[in-house]
Amino acid sequence: MKKVALYIPSMNGGGAERVMLALANGLAEKDILVDLVLNRVDGPYIKDASPKVNIVNLGTSRVLNSIIPLSKYLYKEKPDAILSAMNYVNIATILAQLISGSNTKVVFSEHCDLTESKKNLGRMKSTLVTSLMRWAYKKPHAIIAVSDGVAHSLVNEINIGRNKITTIYNPIFSKDLVKRSKEPLSHCWTKEGSLPLIMGVGRLTHQKDFETLIHAFKKVREKKDCNLMILGEGKLRSELEQLINNLDLNDSVQLPGFVDNPYAWMSHADLFVLSSIYEGFGNVLVEAMACGTPVVSTDCPSGPSEILADGLWGELVPPRNSNLLAQAIIKTLNNSVQKDVKDRASFFSVTNSVDKYYELLTR
């Protein structure tokens, strides 16, 4: 029986972590052994791991410190393949494989648009990361990009052939997600007859640009009475709370933090908005659509335009433009005939994605 390892530092509340967990659980249902390798066994998602998934704890606090423990794991356990996610983790994984001397196939998955993510790095760090990636990304058995946009950014930034990269969309839509979306909520904003509810979900970081969403919401409120809920936690909480206060929106905007089941909230929302400056795929867009909720998104690199088929399934607006975002929100809220976005969400199913990863990891 073949054995496959999936390596990611932790099971904290991010999109890549959720994807790797879904893949681990899905692959474990097939005729292979699955190890989920973590630097530390923590994070809110760890409880959702299938009993069929073996959790391996490297016992380290940083990715750099995990290289030797990971190489020892590869030398001892000799999995047939290891899948890693995110560029710095991918670099550590290939180093560990080389040190171990094992024949384990290494498969990289890239979850972020490199062109955009590099802009947040200093010049020296950006140059270092790019140089390391140009070296490391020549070595794996396969490279998976979570969107065509991510694939193109790799081609442009590290001079790799497009034919070396396989696009596999993230595993999102599932019966379990739909089931969890139907769980009841007791919040007054979700009761029958309450004001229209607009939803945003993501880490409170610069990338997600909830500042623009809040400014757009202020403009929406001038024409339509509604509420805004943003789920997630992050370092910009205090700045966003101050903005909400400055715009006199304390009664209509809430930031409840990380919630265990965002799908129940999404299903109660009248509209979901993704306001990001950049993405790799845009998991939350598909999650909201899987809950049957109409969506509006920035046309940011990378993912949303692919998910929404260039605007066929939801409004696309330029990033960082609160005026156009407000117009798209009002237009969608006022549209009495909404498309069945669940139909589009089903295209990004866990089953489809797991089957494609299985084929790559076991061939």
Q: Are 215 and 328 in a shared domain? A: yes
Report pLDDT for 33: 97
Q: Are 201 and 128 in a shared domain? A: no
Q: Are 157 and 227 in a shared domain? A: no
Q: Are 193 and 322 in a shared domain? A: yes
- The total number of structural domains in the chain stands at 2
User: Tell me: the pLDDT tens digits for 189-221?
Assistant: 999 889 999 999 999 999 999 999 999 999 999
Q: Are 222 and 163 in a shared domain? A: no
Within a domain: residue 270?
yes
Report pLDDT for 363: 87
CATH number at residue 239: 3.40.50.2000
Q: Are 69 and 162 in a shared domain? A: yes
User: Tell me: the pLDDT tens digits for 239-281?
Assistant: 999 999 999 999 999 999 999 899 999 999 999 999 999 999 9
Cβ proximity of 85 and 8 under 8 Å? yes
Q: Are 180 and 285 in a shared domain? A: yes
Within a domain: residue 112?
yes
pLDDT at 237 over 90: yes
Report pLDDT for 336: 80
Residue 13 or residue 174, greater confidence: 174
Q: Are 183 and 322 in a shared domain? A: yes
Residue 299 domain boundaries: 175-347
Q: Which of 17, 31, 155 is nearest to 89 (CA)?
A: 17
Residue 129 or residue 308, greater confidence: 308
pTM: 0.94
Compute CA distances 143 → 6, 212, 293, whole Å: 14, 34, 33
Q: Mean pLDDT across the stretch 216-227?
A: 97
Q: Are 75 and 123 in a shared domain? A: yes
Within a domain: residue 356?
no
Side-chain half-sphere exposure of 254, counting CA atoms within 13 A: 15
CA gap 92, 96 in Å, rounded: 6
Residues 6 or more apart whose CB falls under 8 angstroms from that of 330 comprise 220, 223, 224
pLDDT at 45 over 80: yes
Within a domain: residue 354?
no
Within a domain: residue 363?
no
Within a domain: residue 338?
yes
Q: Are 130 and 196 in a shared domain? A: no
Report pLDDT for 12: 84
Which of the listed residues 120, 136, 168 is the one where a domain comes to its end? 168
Report pLDDT for 121: 82
Report pLDDT for 256: 97
pLDDT at 15 over 90: no
Q: Are 184 and 145 in a shared domain? A: no
Q: What dihedral angle (degrees, nearest 10) is formed by the CA atoms of 349, 355, 357, 362?
A: 170
Report pLDDT for 123: 86
Q: How many residues does the chain have?
A: 363
Q: Are 208 and 338 in a shared domain? A: yes
Within a domain: residue 295?
yes
CA gap 314, 332 in Å, rounded: 8
